[in-house]
Chain A
Amino acid sequence: MGRYLLRRLIISIPVLFGITLVTYVIVNLAPGDPVSAMIDPEQIANLGPGWLEQQRAALGLDKPLPVRYLLWLKEAAQGNLGFSYSDRQPIADKIVERIWPTLKLMLTVQVLALLIAVPIGVLSAVKQYSWIDYLATIFGFTTISIPSFFLALAAIFVFAVKLRWLPTAGMNTIGHPPSIIDSIEHLILPAAVLGLGQAAPLIRYTRSSMLETVRQDYVRVARAKGLTERVVVYGHALRNALIPLVTVIALNLPQLLGGTVIIEQIFAWPGMGTLAITAVRGRDYPTIMAINLIGAVAIVISNMIADLVYAWIDPRIKYS
């Protein structure tokens, strides 16, 4: 297994290289460039002669694509992510600025989803085809059947505008000194909207995992030994049933870092998703590459974890 891990890690490097190369090419194919993104069509008459070319040269856009990519690669390999084309700020700073709101939101979402999903999923499995199961199924599926942007706006409308229970948007109340309660209140709506969506598949996973575990031989043995149903189910089976969930959570890791564009836009949450879409729309190549690289690293790691857990669960799977 150790050799396998090592080999995976080594292979990851060309994978990352491939990802960055392909992304760079695709992104440069999009019409326009960072300079066109900066122009306000209203003001074009005022820009003066030669300004466009000068800006392009300043950003190094007059060099051919392969040269630009290699320059970027050289810097990135040394850990230097460069400067954003749109506002000339260091990209590393921008990312660090955004990653905390994203983590805050996505971790809450994940925890919320688990808190909802595991109890309901377990109950659903234990009482399969009962009314609890039906209700859980319907609830689970309904929440993922509604597009998130709509759910978000409806939630704001009901809870923030009409009922005034919760704030409309943002991470804290503007103009007031920061407080933990304030932050939590602002976290509730976006986390709930996202969390419900995450919970539904987790309910199904927990349910089917639980169902399978309960059929296993060792569970039969435990029952035969005379242990109460409660100890059997919650003491033995549950623990083993939850292990595959780790796979799922590991696979969710990239999203933890990537955020969600739509929810961030609606709730004015300054996270990685907004950074990404602004960069794409502004053809801010270095920022796009940096975000991409981070996402890629996260995915490679999470896939490895998921594969390892997979193999651990089912010893019949052999990795050569």
Chain B
Amino acid sequence: MAQASGTSEGTGDTAPLSALAGHEKRRSGGVWRRFRRHRLAVIGSTVLLILAIGALAAPFIASFSPYAIDLRSYRTGPSDAHWLGTDSAGRDVFSRLLHAGRVSLSVGLVAVTIYTAIGIALGALAGYYGGWVDSLVMRLADVFLSFPSLIIIITLASVLGPSIYNVMLAIGLLGWPPIARLLRGELLSLREREFVLGARASGCGGARLVFRHLLPNAMAPVIVAATFGIAYAILIEAGLSFLGLGVQPPTPSWGNMLTDAQSLTVLESMPWLWLPPGIMIALAVLSINFIGDGLRDALDPYLQHR
């Protein structure tokens, strides 16, 4: 969910060569400032930070093991002993919620890291060299995009075993085409810009051109897309749990905690079973999306309030 067109820079107001160095410095100082002005993004960052700390500190905060069973406390509501009640196997919901955070957040992070890395590498190749390299990479992207992802993931789950690592791998291997296309699109339009022509004229070429000048300016939509991707991966994990392919029991994830609660009885009379994981997913996804939104506005100075 990135910008639709390649026109992210303004028209050629900048003086060609000498403006190059100053151009970059001004941008990096402004990014953080502009990000802070985006209120929702700031809120999102705070919330995410809290969630992340909760997840990391789970073993210390949680009073029970997420696997410990107490059959006498089967599906009981919140109480002093169990702050968020117990689930269908007599386990403490609060402890499971915290531990689930580790799993759900890391699935998103790892999967997105995998496909962003692949996407950047391939997209940079395509965007910079153009020509047949571009063609090849884009056709490869087409091939990967054409795989009906659900079918492939289900099949991969059967072949490799439905573990969470395979889920991350599957999302990671299939998710790179949009990133590659984004980066390639940006690079294609940036290539013809004045500042690039200027850099070339001053003797800058090849890898240096790519890394110092092209990539930093092209990365904005990629970063934004990757951020949204993390949120999306968290939701995909939930959907896969519904199909029995997500994180495997007894390991808790927000997705499979929510799936356990898929019944009218629970929906109506046992809110402690679905509200906590539901809220956690919503908060995490919302925060990450706000952060992405904020990043997008911050990294692109010309979209600010006039």
Contact = CB atoms under 8 A, between A and B. Distances in A.
Interface of A: 7, 11-12, 15-16, 18-19, 22-23, 26-27, 29-32, 128-129, 134, 137-138, 141-142, 144-150, 153-154, 157, 161, 201, 204-205, 208-209, 211-212, 215, 217, 244-245, 247-248, 254, 258, 261-262, 273, 276-277, 280-281, 288, 291-292, 295-296, 299-300, 303, 310, 313-314, 316-318, 320
Contact of B289 (A141, A248, A296, A300): A141
Given A149-B238, A157-B264, 7 more contacts: A12-B142, A15-B146, A26-B152, A147-B235, A248-B4, A295-B148, A314-B6
Given A145-B231, A320-B131, A208 B150 contact: no
Interface in B264-294: 264, 267-268, 274, 278, 281-283, 285-286, 289-290, 293
Interface residues of B, number: 57
Interface string B180-196: 00000100110010000
Contacts of B296: 208
Interface stretch (B23-31, B63-71, B80-88, B153-161): B153-161
B143 A215 contact: no
Q: A-side binding surface: helix, strand, loop or mixed?
A: helix
B145 A154 contact: no
B145 A288 contact: no
A289 B92 CA distance: 45
B243 A262 contact: yes
Contact of A147 (B5, B154, B255): B255
Contacts of A245: 4
B4 A141 contact: no
B1 interface: yes
Contact of B281 (A18, A145, A320): A145
B305 interface: yes
B40 interface: yes
5 contacts: A137-B40, A153-B267, A262-B239, A262-B243, A310-B5
Contacts, number: 169
B95 interface: no
B305 A128 contact: yes
A318 B255 CA distance: 44
A27 B150 CA distance: 12
Contacts of A18: 143
Contacts of A247: 4
Given A209-B5, A295-B146, A215 B155 contact: no
A217 B293 CA distance: 25
Q: Nearest 6 CB-CB pairs, A to B?
A: A244-B4, A145-B285, A296-B146, A147-B238, A30-B158, A145-B282
B151 interface: yes
A26 B258 contact: no
A299 B146 contact: yes
B281 A147 contact: yes
Contacts of B259: 149
Contact of A317 (B3, B189, B255, B267): B189
Interface of B: 1, 3-7, 11, 40, 130-131, 135, 139, 142-143, 145-148, 150-152, 154-156, 158-159, 185, 188-189, 192, 231, 235, 238-239, 242-243, 255, 258-259, 262, 264, 267-268, 274, 278, 281-283, 285-286, 289-290, 293, 296, 302-303, 305
Contacts of B139: 11, 15
B150 A276 contact: yes
Contacts of A150: 238, 258, 262, 274, 278
A248 B188 CA distance: 19
Given A134-B40, A137-B293, A149 B242 contact: yes
Contacts of B155: 26-27, 29-30, 280
Interface centre among B147, B231, B302 (most CB of A within 10 A): B147
B5 A129 contact: no
A157 B267 CA distance: 8
B268 to A, nearest CB: 7
A46 to B, nearest CB: 27
Contacts of A146: 278, 281-282
Contact of A208 (B4, B142, B147, B274): B4
B268 A157 contact: yes
A183 B274 CA distance: 32
Nearest to B148: A295
Contact of B40 (A31, A138, A277): A138
B151 A288 contact: yes
A310 B7 CA distance: 11
A314 B187 CA distance: 13
